[in-house]
Structure 1
Amino acid sequence: MAEEVKLFGTCGSPFSSRIQVALKLKGISYEYIEEDVTNKSPLLLKYNPIHKKVPVLLHNGKPIVETRVILEYIDETWKANPILPEDPYDRATARFWAKYIDGKCAAAAMKAFWAEEKEREKAVEEACECLKTLEGALKDKKFAGGETLGLVDIVANFIAFWLRSFQEISGVELLTEEKFPDLFKWSEEYVEHPIIKEYLPSRDELMFVFVHKRLQNLK
């Protein structure tokens, strides 16, 4: 019996892009279903009734939600081309950094981009501290796990592409070669990876996401 794999996602979303990259790295064929996040489909609400968000992975009719949970599910289900290290300590370390990026770095960067002017300087300082921490953890490696893409790199897609693009649009400077040479070099290696490039949004899509998020933060 053939496996049925579907992905509910949306253009311009770093979270949807993460799952597309992981499935591609694993060589898994799937059906992509584009969701309008301003008018969520009945299927999305059915499969993710608690958070009502993308991405949602549907595997043989069973929904898996939450980006990092989906990534680990993919890695455990399809063993080829692992995205998590085999060693338990290294796996735990990768999970730690993935959580740090989502819970601390991305949130700090978002705040820096959309903070009111009087709060922006402090928000930028906090975001740069997070990037400094990641710079120290990278230690001249090509990718976070060494020579190949892994969980931490996939989760850090927001920093590699979205952050750099949003800072061009907003004029708020966070990640530069002068400030963070190792992290900047990693980001360039990342976006030039042939699989990554396939799932990066266009500038128009990014502009839509940026404006939409800014309007949400102004409410």
Structure 2
Amino acid sequence: MAGEKKGLHLLDFWVSPFGQRCRIALAEKNLAYEPLEQDLSNKSDLLLRANPVHKKIPVFLHDGRPICESLAILHYLDEAFPETPALLPSDAHARAHARLWADYADRKVFECGTRLWRLKEGGEPQAQARREMVEALRTLEAELGDKAYLAGEAFGFLDLAVVPFTAWFLAYERLGEFSVEEVCPRLVAWARRCGERESVARSLHPPEKVYEFVGYLKNKYGDK
């Protein structure tokens, strides 16, 4: 993007789990950047120019050149800054495995969560979304197993890709009327471990604040 200033910039929205995973990754790599908070109800010219196809955040700007989609941004950070701590594992099979599970979280956890707040409360469609959410969380817990982290014994790409969704657990519980800790205690313990990392603690917001935002979404966009 000609004319943009040099350096690293992240077009983001405070509560976006996809933006948060980029913030965590940048912190893990000790890369200094300028956050550019976006108003998604009145999208900036910069955002529309940087991501003309999807017109959404996050967008990472490296010397004015845009990289769109959060998982693509994480891959780019490893490739563009090889001197920083790697996010993805070095083994090709392990990298493919991590990408598969990150995609699973996007497709299952986020999609079911969206249906929970969007669908009318008390109906069978919302009940089905609750059942699918519980199944998705249990599937993630099974992948975690007895490991300290989803990535293994050390915090890695898969953890930082999935952990932003944990700030939404309270909203999922209240909308779906279930307890994440009761159905997935090891996953909750994992979330607490991740939350002790400075990169995660600085990037996520309190669950009550996230729940308030979900209430706003439900009131504005949910089925009546």
- Give TM-score scaled by structure 2 length: 0.88
Q: Are 1:200 and 2:210 matched, yes or no?
A: no
What does residue 186 of structure 1 align with?
190
Q: Are 1:10 and 2:13 matched, yes or no?
A: yes
Report the CA distance shift for 1:155/1:41 in structure 2 as closer, same or farther (over 3 A): same
Equivalent residues of 2:116, 2:175 under 8 A apart: no
What does residue 52 of structure 2 align with?
49
Aligned-residue Cα RMSD (Å) equals 2.0
Equivalent residues of 1:9, 1:54 under 8 A apart: yes
Equivalent residues of 2:21, 2:164 under 8 A apart: no
Equivalent residues of 1:58, 1:64 under 8 A apart: yes
Q: String of CA shifts for 1:24-65, please: whole Å, max 9, x gaps.
A: 101111111111111111111111111111111000110000
> Structure 1 unaligned runs (5+)?
none
Deviation at 1:17, TM superposition (A): 0.9
Query: For residues 20-59 of structure 1, what are the structure 2 equivalents within 5 Å?
Result: 20-59=23-62
Query: For residues 57-72 of structure 1, what are the structure 2 equivalents within 5 Å?
Result: 57-72=60-75
Q: Which amino acid aligns with 2:178?
A: E
Q: String of CA shifts for 1:130-158, please: whole Å, max 9, x gaps.
A: 11111111011111112322221112124
Q: Which amino acid aligns with 2:186?
A: D
- Percent identity between matched residues is 33
Structure 1 Cα separation of the partners of residues 207 and 143 of structure 2: 30
Structure 2 Cα separation of the partners of residues 3 and 160 of structure 1: 34
Give 3-state SS (helix, strand or coil) of 1:166's partner: helix
Q: String of CA shifts for 1:72-95, please: whole Å, max 9, x gaps.
A: 111111122111010000000001
Q: String of CA shifts for 1:152-193, please: whole Å, max 9, x gaps.
A: 11121243222x2313554632512x2112111111112222
Q: Are 1:141 and 2:181 matched, yes or no?
A: no
What does residue 96 of structure 2 align with?
92
Q: Which amino acid aligns with 2:157?
A: L
Structure 2 Cα separation of the partners of residues 203 and 132 of structure 1: 20
Query: Pick from 131, 138, 160: which aligns with 1:132?
Result: 138
> Structure 2 unaligned runs (5+)?
none
Structure 2 Cα separation of the partners of residues 209 and 137 of structure 1: 30
Give 3-state SS (helix, strand or coil) of 1:144's partner: coil
Q: String of CA shifts for 1:13-32, please: whole Å, max 9, x gaps.
A: 11111111101101111111
Structure 1 Cα separation of the partners of residues 74 and 217 of structure 2: 25
What does residue 153 of structure 1 align with?
159
What does residue 77 of structure 1 align with?
80
